[in-house]
């Protein structure tokens, strides 16, 4: 069993459905040690324990605490008590990422953070500065990079098969349960573009290597405001002009009808001078129709449970959502094993060397800035009646 424990901060939907099943699996494989989960409320941890009765984990707050009392700063105690070498995963609401990541870095701990890393470039540069100073690893979990359909687009583009990029279109829209059930406490603090649209902004950057030059944003506030009174966007769209003059239109929503055949409707189209790429990332030509759930478009590639090949295990989880998380966990373990026993100065130099080697292959802050900058620019454009927003050399957005 590895000596490296894991601390997961946040116990919401993505933790329940993806992160914890991933962690429990690699724990069974001997790759990580004890798992701790920190959440604001004990009721969240009790729900997780009911969902995973055969997988023990330590909880912040403790299981004997009042389950309905909120502890907004409990992550500070969890990080302070974390053993050296603890792997930190951050899965809080979008607007809370920055404080948790900075606190983890203060304790010398490496992080894997759910996308987006943060909501503005000021916060991103603060995180980057702190990470650079200590040789800290901060990976943004852009799991669409691991989708074979997106990896194929990157490979073929870089082989020259698509020529020079002209334009693209991406759509990523989710059923209204996201806004009305899962994220109802904080939907006015983020938007569907910031929460999931950044996946395809990052995917275009990942495929092409291009940096954004200009953005125009649009947003609509109708259904959520009518139903809940919250000043939150139902849908947000952004058009991004890139440094080569190509454009990407990204449409997002989190109020699709519940009758949608999958939680997320998503896809990507790219048109270049020598070819076209088109992929419906929802309709993978795999479907179920059952009395229990009705008609479902089933994506076998994202994150699913399958029969295990191991005779000692009944089932395993697998998919690009799984691979994205374990990539970060494995990177952190390698960083720590490579510097074990070194003095601090030598360890810092070695970490910086290893991080520099990963710089072009991972969504570390120098790459995560693209999604963050476009998120901020879309917000700025919407707040100013659709005015254009341009970026300076450091990708800080400003009105035209």
Tokens matching residue 209:
């290597």
Q: Rounded distance, CA 251 to CA 377, Å?
A: 15
Take residue 331 and report the two structure tokens written for it.
Answer: 């990177």
Four-point Cα dihedral 322, 323, 325, 331, nearest 10? 150
Q: Is 379 left (phi over 0), alpha (psi -120 to 50) or beta?
A: alpha
> Are the C-beta atoms of 251 and 267 separated by less than 8 Å?
no
Helices (H), 135-165: 148-158
Domain 6-142+308-363 shares a fold with domain 145-303+371-399: no
CATH architecture type of domain 6-142+308-363:
3-Layer(aba) Sandwich (3.40)
> DSSP alpha helices (H): ranges in 254-364?
320-339, 344-358
Neighbours of 259 (CB within 10 A): 8
3-class DSSP assignment, residue 397: strand
Query: Rounded CA gap, 270 and 268, in Å?
Result: 7
Fold of 145-303+371-399: Dihydrodipicolinate Reductase; domain 2 (3.30.360)
Q: Where are the beta strands (DSSP E) in 66-164?
A: 87-90, 111-114, 138-141
pTM: 0.96
pLDDT the model gives residue 1: 38
Give CA 222 to chain center in angstroms: 27
Provide the pairing of β-strand 6-9 with 35-38: parallel
pLDDT of the chain along its 400 residues, tens only? Answer: 358 999 999 999 999 999 999 999 999 999 999 999 999 999 999 999 999 999 999 999 999 999 999 999 999 999 999 999 999 999 999 999 999 999 999 999 999 999 999 999 999 999 999 999 999 999 999 999 999 999 999 999 999 999 999 999 999 999 999 999 999 999 999 999 999 999 999 999 999 999 999 999 999 999 999 999 999 999 999 999 999 999 999 999 999 999 999 999 999 999 999 999 999 999 999 999 999 999 999 999 999 999 999 998 899 999 999 999 999 999 999 999 999 999 999 999 999 999 999 999 999 999 999 999 999 999 999 999 999 999 999 999 999 9
pLDDT score of 3: 84
Spell out the domain ranges in the chain: 6-142+308-363, 145-303+371-399
User: SS3 for 379?
Assistant: helix
Nearest to 131 by CA among 105, 113, 97, 111: 105
């Amino acid at each position: 069993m590895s000596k490296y424990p894991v601390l997961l901060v946040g116990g919401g939907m993505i933790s329940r459905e993806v992160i914890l099943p991933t962690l429990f699996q690699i724990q069974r494989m001997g790759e990580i040690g004890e798992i701790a989960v920190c959440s604001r409320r004990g009721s969240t941890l009790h729900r997780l324990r009911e969902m995973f009765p055969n997988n023990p984990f330590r909880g912040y707050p403790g299981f004997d605490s009042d389950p309905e009392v909120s502890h907004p700063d409990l992550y500070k105690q969890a990080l302070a008590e974390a053993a050296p070498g603890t792997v930190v995963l951050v899965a809080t609401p979008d607007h809370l990422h920055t404080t948790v990541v900075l606190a983890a870095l203060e304790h010398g701990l490496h992080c894997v953070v759910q996308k987006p890393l943060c909501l503005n470039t000021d916060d991103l540069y603060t995180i980057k500065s702190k990470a650079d100073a200590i040789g800290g690893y901060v990976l943004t979990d852009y799991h669409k990079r691991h989708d074979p359909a997106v990896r194929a687009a990157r490979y073929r583009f870089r082989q020259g098969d698509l020529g020079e990029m002209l334009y693209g279109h991406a759509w990523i829209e989710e059923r209204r349960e996201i806004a009305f059930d899962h994220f109802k406490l904080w939907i006015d603090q983020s938007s569907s573009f910031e929460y999931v649209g950044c996946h395809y902004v990052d995917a275009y950057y990942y495929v092409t290597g291009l940096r954004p030059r200009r953005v125009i944003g649009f947003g609509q506030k109708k259904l959520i405001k009518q139903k809940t009174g919250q000043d939150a966007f139902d849908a947000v769209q952004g058009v991004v002009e890139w440094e080569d003059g190509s454009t990407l239109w990204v449409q997002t929503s989190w109020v699709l009808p519940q009758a949608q055949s999958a939680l997320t409707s998503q896809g990507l189209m790219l048109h270049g001078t020598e070819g076209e790429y088109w992929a419906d990332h929802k309709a993978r030509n795999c479907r179920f129709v059952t009395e229990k759930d009705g008609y479902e478009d089933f994506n076998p590639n994202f994150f699913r449970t399958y029969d295990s090949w191991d005779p000692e295990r009944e089932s395993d989880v697998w998919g690009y959502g799984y691979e994205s998380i374990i990539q970060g966990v494995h990177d952190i373990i390698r960083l720590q094993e490579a510097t074990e026993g070194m003095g601090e100065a030598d360890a810092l130099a070695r970490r910086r060397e290893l991080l520099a080697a990963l710089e072009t292959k991972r969504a570390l802050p120098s790459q995560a800035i693209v999604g963050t900058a476009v998120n901020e620019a879309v917000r700025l454009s919407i707040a100013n009646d659709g005015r254009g927003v341009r970026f300076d050399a450091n990708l800080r957005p400003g009105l035209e």
